Structure formats: structure tokens, C-alpha cells
Amino acid sequence: MAVYTDISEVELEALLAAYDAGSLLSYKGIAEGSENSNYLLHTTKAAFILTLYERRVDKADLPFFLGLMEHLAEHGVSCPLPVRRRDGEVISEIAERPAALITFLEGMWLRRPAPQHCRQVGRAIAGLHLAAQGFALSRPNALALDGWRDLWRKAAPRADEVEPGLSEEVEADLATLGRAWPGDLPTGIIHADLFPDNVFFLGGEVSGIIDFYFACNDLLAYDVATCLNAWCFEKDGSYNLTKGTALLAGYQEIRPLEPAEIEALPLLARGSALRFMLTRLYDWLTIPDGALVNKRDPMEYVRRLRFHRQIRSSSEYGIGIT
Ligand SMILES: Nc1ncnc2c1ncn2[C@@H]1O[C@H](COP(=O)(O)OP(=O)(O)OP(=O)(O)O)[C@@H](O)[C@H]1O
Ligand SMILES: N[C@@H](CCO)C(=O)O
């Protein structure tokens, strides 16, 4: 559950007074998610989500995230729209946290996505990459190689408690990725966390994308690699080639990958698996048991790392260089 901060109806009514969003009818904390506190609000005008930024979100980045959502919505991507206050601002404060009111998106995320959903996600992510072109702000990826090394420094001393030998594996990955990480592939704004719980479907179609709080400028194909990790592995850790093929084909329908991007996929997928393994490992070791937070299993991503290490060609993901 992710409700780190409790808020009262009195605080909420005071907050809503700054907006033209109606008056409060009801509210409740949302159990899902792990990074921020989210509340579902019903007002006399509509339903909204109120997000209180916690943990990894730096307040200085909020204009980028919220501005990006506005830009994407204006360019045809279905995503929440930040609600402006009467004074024109989008960032508020409640319970000593920075907060934003955003529009409510209909739909649900899929616990068991099928290949046709993966194809749609491929299309959606390519659409997002194209729609984000021209957004005026930029933000470096805080969870790229240097960020991974920082997380690793903090988690390394206890990593072998989670899996004996993990330290040695991660040291080798960091060294390989540090040497071989591609520097010359197409870049742009990426979502960087497009997991199934961040894509809503309605009647079998993508109805919207949420949670832009890791969005940043980085390699576009790295976002595709993250989607392969998040959408195309089964619970038993095996790669589902049909899903991978569908996701990559969907992406290429909208934005064909360059040969160099295709060739780099095994490395990018390995880097992305390491990134999610490290944030999960850090949380696993630092969040106390019993805290009201979803702790995600780092071992799922250790298994993905092992898979990507033995890939010899991108065709094993379901794509060929033509
Ligand atoms: N605009 C929205 N419309 C409808 N529901 C939303 C919206 N934004 C968030 N939610 C709900 O809140 C939940 C958590 O939101 P979100 O994924 O942004 O939180 P988070 O803590 O950043 O999670 P994550 O662990 O994925 O980073 C979502 O699963 C969804 O149920
Ligand atoms: N999507 C991330 C968590 C939140 O960003 C993970 O599954 O580790």
C-alpha cells in the first residue's frame, strides 16, 4: 500500500479552495503504488487524483513531470492532466508535502496482459516518444549508470543476504555495462517506468498512461527494453517470445527502430533489469517489514539479468535487423 501521509478532510477542503474543481464529497487513500501517496477524490464537479510526492521525487523536478503531462495530453497521448489552481499554479502543498491534483483516468491495469496488449503497449510507447518531441524542458535520467552505482554502493554490503553471490554478479554487470553502454543512439523523452500498473485499458484498448515521475531524457530504445522486462516475462521467469515479438512489432509500426538500436537491445535490457533490481534491492533492505508499502521482489529482476546476460542476438527477443 502506498499512503505514506494521512490527510484530513479539513486539509483537503482548504486545498480545494485554491482550485476551481468543486467542493469535496468524498476521498480515500489508494492502496496501489509504491512511490507516492495517492488519494481518489470526488468533488461536486468530477473525480480527481491527488498525489503527494514522497521518497524519490525531487520537488525541483515537478515542473518537468507536470509540464510533460500537459504537453503529451495536448499532443494526443491519453494521460492525466494536472489541474491548475486559480492562481495558475499546478503545485500545491498539503501535510508539508508537495502535491498536485490531476484528472482521473478511466480504465484498469492488467494483471495478466496478453500478446495483443503488448502490441498496443509497443504502439503507445512509440506514440509517446514521438509526442514528447518538442517538449521544452529536459531532465537527465537520475537512474542511469551513475545512479545505479550510487544505489549499489548503499546496497552492496548486504546484497548477499538476498542471494549468495549476488555481489559478484552485480559488480560484473556494472563493469560490463560501464564499458559497453551505447552513447550514440537516438534520444528523447522516455517514460522510464512503463510497467503494466502504469497503463490502463478499457474494452481491450489502451485508455491511458500514468505515473510520469521517472520520465527523463535518455535513449528511446532503453524505454523499449524496460517494456520488454516489464511486460514480456512470465511469473516463472521465462521470456515470452510471442509477447516480445508483439511489443516490438507494435513499437515499429509507429517508430521503426534503427539497426543500431536493435543491436543494442540485449545490453539495454540488461541495464534496465539492473536498474529495477537495484531500486528493489535497496527498498528490500531499507524499508522495515510491516511498513504499509509494497516491497517488490529484487529476485525477479536478478533472474531477468541472468536471462539477458546469455542473449547472443536481438532476434531472441523477437526482432530481426532488416
Ligand atoms: N490519473 C489517474 N486516474 C485514475 N487512477 C489513478 C491515476 N493516477 C493514479 N491512479 C491510481 O493510483 C495508483 C497508484 O498510482 P501511481 O502508479 O502513480 O503510484 P506510484 O506510487 O507512483 O506507483 P509506482 O509503484 O507504479 O511507481 C494506480 O495504480 C491507480 O490505481
Ligand atoms: N515499477 C517499479 C516500481 C515503481 O517505480 C518496479 O516494478 O520495480
Question: Tens digits of per-residue pLDDT, 171-201?
Answer: 999 999 999 999 899 999 999 999 999 999 9
* Residue 189 within a domain: yes
Q: Which residues of 232-260 are buried (b: 16+ CB within 10 A; e: fewer)?
A: bbeeeeebbeebbbbbbbbbbeebebeee
Whether residues 30 and 151 fall in one domain:
no
Beta bridge partners of 232: none
The CA-based angle 158-148-63, given to 5 degrees, is 125
In a domain, 4, yes or no: no
**24 belongs to a structural domain:** yes
Domain boundary among 74, 103, 132: 103
Q: Which residue has the cell 544505489?
A: 151
- Interface TM-score (ipTM) > 0.85: yes
Question: Residue 77 is part of a domain; what is its CATH number?
Answer: 3.30.200.20
Classify residue 76: in a domain, yes or no: yes
* Together in a domain, 91 and 163: no
For the chain, list residues with pLDDT below 70. 1, 290-293, 321-322
Mutate to test the pocket of ligand 1, among 211, 214, 295 (most ligand atoms within 8 A of CB): 211
135 and 247 together in one domain:
yes
Q: Which of 82, 103, 124 is the last residue of a domain?
A: 103
Strand order of the β-sheet with 37-43 is 24-29, 37-43, 47-52, 97-103, 92-94
The ligand minimizing its distance to the Cα of 28 is: 1
Same domain, 98 and 121: no
Same domain, 89 and 194: no
pLDDT of residue 54: 87
Query: Of 32, 34, 194, 297, which is best to mutate to test ligand 2, by the most ligand atoms within 8 angstroms of its C-beta?
Result: 34
Please give the pLDDT value at position 291: 59
**Which DSSP helix (H) or strand (E) runs through 72?**
helix 62-74
> Helix, strand or coil for residue 155?
helix
Distance CA 108, CA 106 (A): 7
The parent domain of residue 84 ranges over: 9-103
Residue 32 confidence (pLDDT): 80
Instruction: Give distance in angstroms: CA of 181 to centre of ligand 2.
Output: 22
Residue after which a domain boundary falls, among 40, 69, 103: 103
Residue 56: the pLDDT is 78
Domain count of the fold of the chain: 2
Give CA separation, 105 vs 22, 65, 217, in Å: 18, 17, 25
Same domain for 122 and 241: yes
Integer angstrom CA distances of residue 29 from 2, 6, 32, 51: 8, 8, 9, 10
My answer on whether 168 and 74 are in the same domain is no
Question: Rounded CA gap, 95 and 98, in Å?
Answer: 8
Q: Are 96 and 162 part of one and the same domain?
A: no
Q: What does the pLDDT read at residue 295?
A: 82
**Judgement on whether residues 189 and 71 belong to the same structural domain of the protein:** no
- The predicted pLDDT at position 322 comes to 57
Which tens digit of pLDDT belongs to each residue from 69-128? 999 999 999 999 999 999 999 999 999 999 999 999 999 999 999 999 999 999 999 999
Give the span between the Cα atoms of 12 and 211, in whole angstroms: 22
* Single pTM value for the model: 0.95
